[in-house]
Amino acid sequence: MKFLSAIALMLILFSNSAAAEVAFSQLYLDGDIVGTVVPPAAAPMTGTDPIYPIMGGVGGQLPVAGTGPGHRDYHGGHWAVHVVVWNMGSDPYLLTSEEAVWDAYYDGEVSITRVMEADFKCPLQRKPKN
């Protein structure tokens, strides 16, 4: 059952939702949109780089990476999945950085749950600045 939940979470992470009208291979890192380089590969219980899929967010919400290319603590996209859910009574807004995710948590707006069975590998690539 946990394995099926992990697969379902990976599909949610990298698929279009009704609310989000963006490509499946994108996520936020430090307020910027970055893309994935290869399809994700399951790697349960091995994640080191935090990633935050946001459940019940606003339109345009993408998962948020806690680290990525150019960060000292980036391990190439060995993602440790932390599911973020908006709490009842909170008004969701766009979260685009790890700092914003944790600010929302400390303000009591979201709950964060570590889901080790959903860990996966998938490197990121920053978009070139125009």
**Quick one: pLDDT at residue 92?**
98
pLDDT tens-digit map of 23-64: 348 999 999 999 987 788 999 999 999 999 999 999 999 999
Cα 88 to its chain centre, rounded Å, is 21
Q: How confident is the model at residue 19 (pLDDT cuts 50, 70, 90)?
A: very low
Q: Which amino acid is at 23?
A: A
**Residue 31 phi/psi, 5° resolution?**
85, -10
Distance separating alpha carbons of residues 17 and 64, to the nearest angstrom? 15
Which of 19, 45, 23 lies closest to 34, judged by CA? Answer: 23
Are 78 and 43 in contact, with CB atoms under 8 Å apart?
yes
Mean pLDDT across the chain, nearest whole number? Answer: 84
Distance separating alpha carbons of residues 127 and 62, to the nearest angstrom? 16
| % of the chain exceeding 70 in pLDDT | 78
**Quick one: pLDDT at residue 36?**
87
**DSSP designation for 104:** H
Give the three-class secondary structure for 37: coil
**Quick one: pLDDT at residue 72?**
93
Please give the average per-residue pLDDT across 93-119, as a whole number. Answer: 98
